[in-house]
């Protein structure tokens, strides 16, 4: 049986892990951009601008998902307990 404290802990750790993944993604794009572009360009024909916009949009959607599905429920459980 899952308690509110367990769920709150799960959501808190899930938020931190997901934010760590976004930071890793961001730093990988910043410091290994050319290598990642060449790697992806083997499979898909993309311009550099298109590649950047896809990753920027992907990071934005992922961050919104973290906020909606992890952080907001965590804060709501924190407020009610």
Average pLDDT, the chain: 96
The whole-number average pLDDT for the span 6-15 is 97
Residues 6+ away with beta carbon under 8 Å from 41: 51
Question: Is 90 exceeded by the pLDDT of residue 31?
Answer: yes
Per-residue tokens: 45: 């024909």
Residue linked to tokens 């934010």: 19
In this prediction, residues 6-29 reach a mean pLDDT of 97
At residue 81, the pLDDT reads 85
- Residue 33 pLDDT class (50, 70, 90 cuts): very high
């Amino acid at each position: 049986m899952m308690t509110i404290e367990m769920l709150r802990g799960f959501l808190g750790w899930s938020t931190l892990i997901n934010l760590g993944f976004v930071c890793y993604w961001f730093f990988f794009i910043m410091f290994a951009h050319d290598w990642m572009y060449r790697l992806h360009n083997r499979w898909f024909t993309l311009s550099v601008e298109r590649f950047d916009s896809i990753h920027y949009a992907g990071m934005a959607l992922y961050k919104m998902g973290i906020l909606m599905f992890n952080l907001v429920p965590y804060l709501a459980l924190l407020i009610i307990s």
